[in-house]
Amino acid sequence: MKLLQEGVFLVAIFFFAYTQQLVKGQHQPRKDCQTKCGNITIDYPFGISSGCYYPGDDSFNLTCDEKQNLYIGNNTEVKTFNHSSQLSVMFNRFSFCNDEQRNSTNETLIGYRLGSSFSLSATNKFYLVGCNALALLSTFGKQNYSTGCLSLCNAPPVENGECNGVGCCRTDVTVRSDSNIFQYGSDRFVNQFNASEGQFKTSVYQFNPCTYAFLVENGQFNFSSSKDLKNLRNLTSFPVSLDWSIGNKTCKQAGSTSICRENSGCIDSTRGKGYNCKCLEGFDGNPYLPNGCQDINECTTNSSTHKHNCTDPKTCRLKDGGGFYCKCPSGYDLTATMNSTMSCTRPEYLRWTQILLGTTIGFLVLLIAVSCIQHTTKHRKETKLRQQFFEQNGGGMLIHRISVAGSSNVDVKIFTEEGMKEATNGYEESRILGQGAQGTVYKGILPDKSIVAIKKARLGDSSQVEQFINEVLVLSQINHRNVVKLLGCCLETEVPLLVYEFIPSGTLFDHLHDSIFNSSLTWEHRLRIAIEVAGTLAYLHSSASIPIIHRDVKTANILLDDNLTAKVADFGASRLIPMDKEQLTTMVQGTLGYLDPEYYTTGLLNEKSDVYSFGVVLMELISGQKAMCFDRPQQSKHLVSYFASATKENRLHEVIDGKVMKEDNQREEIKKAARIAVECTRLMGEERPRMKEVAAELEALTVKTTKHKWSNEQLMSGHILSAQGDTSSRGYDSINNVARFDIEAGR
């Protein structure tokens, strides 16, 4: 009995296992089922012919015609389908056409009956294309449902690609799962009434003869008024998406009887009834077939649906039984990013350190690159500009003439702009020695530590380049002890720079008028300075290879060295006189108070212009007063007028510098020096002596053996000029001439 019971129990277990295996295997296609129709692969639960599709539901029965087109149900063409829950088919469009005579061509409403396992997807849209028309979509089931839209227009709408109720309208599709029968269509209504004719009349037929109603997947149709209102681009069908599911039970209700196979799971259908199968994560294939879901290698698969989400592919690892995970190296944390990928990142403090370091390095590299580019560009521009200035300032001409003259005969150096900047510390204000009409003079220190004076000229006339080059060449060859030596020039700047020897003790103007130096020049010093300046001008006028007119002789342009030796400087206004000419016609240039009146009125420049200016300098040495002084009376503001008037009126003692008055000097020297000064400042240039004569007369004052001391009484009595004899003498006439000129000029 016991053995019988055990046998029955074993039989029951075997029968249960057999029935379970039968249930699991009863819904499988035959081995010889057709799996292709044209370009479409057919996967179970769909199939062609009995035994190849899911049994008991003819909704999954497909037909492949002789043209290799695939259909379901009542000749509904299939385009694509997948294992999950959707199928793409082609539905026809509905059209209603008429003309101006209201003759119409009516099509039968488009209608479809789907299998019980199919329903319209909510991703579809219902469209109407046409003017002054209405379209309706109706579904039938346990509860009927209708939707539609209205389109209005009396003229072709503006082309904007929008389906907004003007020429085109659309609406969403909401269908119940039990509504598998539906139909749709459209109709046009009259939109205008002509009161004069007493009848309706429409105006849209010419550009819109037909109205169209159709279903289409969302995103598969873009309205164009120019292309669609006439004939809908000759489109007769559109892709429509269908939802499908297995049976009427949910996953819970189906339980072990579901047809989902290994490595798959059951999910309730979005239709509201039935279920679908889906491969588990890490598997891909057909979940309705045995071994249909195959493990995939996400770490190497390029499929967009199965690709791993590890930011770095090297961190992707496969899981046993399917799936993957991202493994970070030591010192990194796994974090999710905004786009759902998994990234290995350092801890926060290390990450910020890395970001900061990388940003800093990147910024520095970028900064260095930009700086290099800017530096290179700037260097190229500066080089080109320097070359342009060099040629503009006559550099090529100067080099040519130096080569012609021979290096042994020309002692001039061409400095670079960079060298001049370094010598003046970037033209620092503290290096300025003086400023005048011709430019600014800086103290410069050359690389060999020698001190020079660098004159930066003001912007001048480019037409004078050749004369400037001639002047540089001539001055570079002058080796006169009383001329500030020109060491060289720089032609790479907008205006030329001249480099002179440095004279440390300021100008004669500074010493006479106490503007900088608190020194007292004796008559011996003053006479010697006058002799040195006169000799220098005589040399420039007569002994230089090409005569030179200084044109700006004044106490501010006479420098004194440590031994109070005079150095004539500032040849910026100087002009070269060709050997075949005695004078030049130039633009008047000079300093007020020293300017030759004849040159001022005629513009004719000759050596007598320098003689007049020297006469003013000699008057300054004797009187210690400035060439122009607005504190003196109106008729005496000009020193020449003041000096001449005092001489004429026997008031020379009023003119002589008080510091000289205190000295025990020879009255003859002062008297003769005053006479020479008056002669030099005659109104007419031809009446003035030449500089060679002036230098000789001044030199003669120092070799007189008879010396008479001045007395205050003699000076006060005005007898200084009485030794000259009659008042009609040359000296007196000179004074009269000068006096008359300056009085008239003062007016």
The predicted-structure confidence for 561-616, as pLDDT tens digits, reads as follows 889 999 998 776 566 565 555 565 566 677 888 999 998 888 888 889 999 999 99
**Domain termination site, one of 217, 244, 271:** 244
CA distance 650 to 654: 9
The position carrying tokens 């010192």 is: 331
Q: Is 211 among the domain residues?
A: yes
Mean pLDDT of 186-194: 68
Q: Is the pLDDT of residue 548 over 60?
A: yes
Give the strand pairing for 324-326 and 293-295: unpaired
369-401 exposure pattern, b = at least 16 Cβ within 10 A, e = fewer: eeeeeeeeeeeeeeeeebeebbeebbbebbeeb
CA distance 41 to 47: 10
Q: What are residue 557's phi and psi, to 5 degrees?
A: -105, 15
Q: What is the pLDDT of residue 36?
A: 92
Q: Are 92 and 81 in contact (CB under 8 A)?
A: no
Mean pLDDT of 346-358: 76
Predicted confidence band of residue 365 (pLDDT cuts 50, 70, 90): very high
Domain match, 382 and 240 both: no
Q: What is the pLDDT of residue 442?
A: 92
Instruction: Cis check for the bond before 547: say yes or no (omega within 30 of 0).
Output: no
Q: What is the pLDDT of residue 603?
A: 83
Q: Are 151 and 164 in contact (CB under 8 A)?
A: no
CA distance 538 to 525: 20
Give the strand pairing for 486-490 and 413-415: parallel
DSSP run (H or E) holding 537:
helix 523-538
Q: What is the pLDDT of residue 527?
A: 93
Predicted confidence band of residue 690 (pLDDT cuts 50, 70, 90): very high
Bridge-partner residues for 279, per DSSP? Answer: 264
5 vs 137, higher pLDDT? 137
pLDDT-wise least confident of 13-22, 221-230, 446-455:
13-22
Closest CA to 489 of 510, 469, 513: 469
CA distance 622 to 656: 6
Q: Are 485 and 472 in contact (CB under 8 A)?
A: no
Q: Are 108 and 198 in contact (CB under 8 A)?
A: no
Closest CA to 242 of 364, 105, 77: 77
Give the strand pairing for 181-188 and 324-326: unpaired
Q: What is the pLDDT of residue 584?
A: 57
Closest CA to 278 of 269, 290, 268, 287: 287
The position carrying tokens 């809908």 is: 232
pLDDT averaged over the chain? 79
Bridge-partner residues for 246, per DSSP? Answer: 275
Q: Are 554 and 591 in contact (CB under 8 A)?
A: yes
Total Cβ atoms within 10 A of residue 562: 8
- Catalytic residue, from 284, 552, 596, 742: name it: 552
Q: What is the pLDDT of residue 12?
A: 47
Q: Is 417 among the domain residues?
A: yes
Q: What is the pLDDT of residue 581?
A: 55
Q: Is the pLDDT of residue 242 over 70?
A: yes
Mean pLDDT of 298-326: 70
Q: How far is CA 413 from CA 388, 448, 472, 499, in A?
A: 19, 14, 10, 9
Q: Are 373 and 379 in contact (CB under 8 A)?
A: no
Nearby residues of 501 by Cβ (< 8 Å), 6 or more positions away: 452, 453, 484, 485, 487
Mean pLDDT of 362-385: 90
The position carrying tokens 């007419």 is: 684
Assigned token pair, 186: 């459209």
Domain carrying residue 478: 376-502
CA distance 277 to 586: 109
Q: Is 2 among the domain residues?
A: no
- Max CA separation in the chain (angstroms): 186
Q: Are 620 and 557 in contact (CB under 8 A)?
A: no
**Percent with pLDDT over 70 in the chain:** 76
Q: Is 430 among the domain residues?
A: yes
Residue 460 CA neighbour count, 13 Å, CB half: 23
Q: Is the pLDDT of residue 447 over 50?
A: yes
Predicted confidence band of residue 53 (pLDDT cuts 50, 70, 90): very high
pLDDT-wise least confident of 45-54, 129-138, 538-547, 591-600:
538-547
Q: What is the pLDDT of residue 175?
A: 74
644-678 exposure pattern, b = at least 16 Cβ within 10 A, e = fewer: bbbbbeeebbebbbeebeeeebbbbbbbbbbbbbb
Q: What is the pLDDT of residue 519?
A: 63
Q: Is the pLDDT of residue 482 over 90?
A: yes
Q: What is the pLDDT of residue 664?
A: 61
CA distance 393 to 385: 12
Q: What is the pLDDT of residue 163?
A: 93
Q: Is 62 among the domain residues?
A: no
Bridge-partner residues for 276, per DSSP? Answer: 267
**Percent with pLDDT over 90 in the chain:** 31
Spacing of C-alpha 129 from chain mean position: 52
Is 728 buried (19+), middle (13-18) or exposed (0-12) by CB count in 10 A? Answer: exposed
629 vs 451, higher pLDDT? 451
The SS3 assignment for 546 reads coil
Amino acid (one-letter) located at 563: N
Q: Is the pLDDT of residue 300 over 70?
A: yes
Q: Is the pLDDT of residue 32 over 60?
A: yes
DSSP run (H or E) holding 257:
none
339 vs 625, higher pLDDT? 625
Phi-psi sector, 574: left (phi>0), alpha (psi -120 to 50), beta: beta
Give me the numbers of helices (H) and strands (E) for the chain, helices first please: 18, 40
Q: Is the pLDDT of residue 328 over 90?
A: no
Amino acid (one-letter) located at 266: C
Q: Is 420 among the domain residues?
A: yes
Q: How far is CA 216 from CA 119, 127, 646, in A?
A: 14, 8, 119
Q: What is the pLDDT of residue 20?
A: 42
CA distance 405 to 399: 10
Angle at 209 between CA 208 and CA 212, to 5 degrees: 80
Bridge-partner residues for 37, per DSSP? Answer: 40
Q: What is the pLDDT of residue 37?
A: 92
Q: Are 122 and 272 in contact (CB under 8 A)?
A: no
234 vs 477, higher pLDDT? 234
Q: Is 175 among the domain residues?
A: yes
Q: What is the pLDDT of residue 315?
A: 77
Give the chain's radius of gyration (CA, Å). 58
**Domain termination site, one of 502, 524, 542:** 502
Q: What CATH number did the domain enclosing 441 receive?
A: 3.30.200.20
Is 551 buried (19+), middle (13-18) or exposed (0-12) by CB count in 10 A? Answer: buried
DSSP run (H or E) holding 47:
strand 47-48
Q: Does the annotation mark 411 as catalytic? A: no
Amino acid (one-letter) located at 74: N
Residue 650 CA neighbour count, 13 Å, CB half: 13
Q: What is the pLDDT of residue 15?
A: 43
CA distance 598 to 576: 19
Domain count, the chain: 2
Q: Is the pLDDT of residue 213 over 90?
A: yes
pLDDT-wise least confident of 441-450, 511-520, 544-553:
511-520
**Domain termination site, one of 244, 278, 297:** 244
Q: Are 612 and 680 in contact (CB under 8 A)?
A: yes
Q: Is 61 among the domain residues?
A: no
Q: How far is CA 103 from CA 97, 106, 282, in A?
A: 8, 10, 62
Q: What are residue 403's phi and psi, to 5 degrees?
A: -65, -35
Q: Is the pLDDT of residue 618 over 50?
A: yes
Is 103 buried (19+), middle (13-18) or exposed (0-12) by CB count in 10 A? Answer: exposed
